[in-house]
Amino acid sequence: MVTPQRPLDLFGVEELIDDEDRALRDTVRDFTADRLRPHLADWFENASIPARELARELGKLGVLGMHLDGYGCAGTSATAYGLVCMELEAADSGLRSLVSVQGSLAMFAIWRWGSEEQKQEWLPRMAAGEVVGCFGLTEPDFGSDPGGMRTFARRDGADWVLNGTKMWITNGSVADIAVVWAQTDDKIRGFVVPTDTPGFSAPEITRKLSLRASVTSELVLDDVRLPAAAMLPEARGLSGPLSCLSEARYGIVFGALGAARDCLETAIAYTQDRTIFGKPLAGYQATQLKLADMTLELGKGMLLALRLAALKDAHELRPEQVSLGKLNNVREALAIARECRTLLGANGISLEYPVMRHAANLESVLTYEGTSEVHQLVIGQQLTGHPAFR
């Protein structure tokens, strides 16, 4: 017998993380262990989560918009943000989604494309978790092709009037503001919409089989009247929302690995304790072959994520490189979750263990922020020079 190692220890990744980033990661890991993990099975089973309460706690922890500078944001490294996403998703993808949508979609949209007045008004309170935001881009008939959106904003005097529907919006029913993207006579523009504006509603989507520990909603805009100051002045065209998606996808590159790591560590512990035919399940070759292959994919994904983090910290990360990370790491994380389920046998489908919950969540993560096929085509275009989306 040799002393067992944790999967990522074989890759020496701790040596690639500086002390400050590691300390923040460990703080969030402790938070998930103490505050989140005891409730995850119930939140998932009941499809109910105290989102606003958690937002305030996460704000106090300093992780909402943590990678942004100023306006109450921590201004951490991209590596630190990735590691935090990893720890949150090791608990549950829905919790990482809450933080991603708040920080990388709603807050980033205002931080990158908003006016100084909008930044001052919203970002400090969003960083503190006092104001919850959502991001309205996807529509019932337009997911991978957001440029075809039907939501329209028309000018009426000095005001804007918005009509349309958005779908699959994380945080929608609990949000105080929604960043909504709409067609106009001057290309696609973004708007900051307080959710108490007349004509705005956000019915929650129920009967989900995935991301049950997360609030998912429809947004309905029925003659929603906004002042001119509600428009994000610096965003014009699809580059605005797509830049936000790239920020969120970056967090998923790390986050998916958290879910995979949690599944793999659970499977290793389970096979050590489970006795079959007179010896631990971990002692059989078939088990070790599975564990070795999964560890290899987890480690490769982690090395890729850390490389992308270094590029982002150097302001050199390109969207197609984020596509590489999102495509590989989510796809491999889902495969790991499914394989770990087999090692737990019948217990693998129980909420007493996190594996099936992670697998169900990762089915959604595989699709949102760009399907695997979209990311394959992004990479294919870079390799060939030919766009093949149509």
Write out the catalytic residue numbers: 369
Contact between 251 and 81 (Cβ < 8 Å): yes
Q: How far is CA 301 from CA 69, 187, 272, in A?
A: 28, 38, 25
| Short-list 390, 287, 294, 284, CA closest to 338 | 294
Q: Which residues contact 6 (CB under 8 A, 6 or more apart)?
A: 265
Q: Which amino acid is at 98?
A: L
Alpha carbon distance 340, 334 (integer Å): 10
Residue 13 per-residue DSSP state: G
Alpha carbon distance 32, 28 (integer Å): 6
Q: Which residues contact 69 (CB under 8 A, 6 or more apart)?
A: 75
- The angle at the Cα of 162, spanning 157 to 168, to the nearest 5 degrees, equals 165
3 state SS of 42 = helix
Q: How far is CA 214 from CA 84, 117, 170, 248, 316, in A?
A: 18, 31, 7, 16, 32
Alpha carbon distance 210, 259 (integer Å): 14
At residue 69, φ and ψ (nearest 5 deg) are: -105, 140
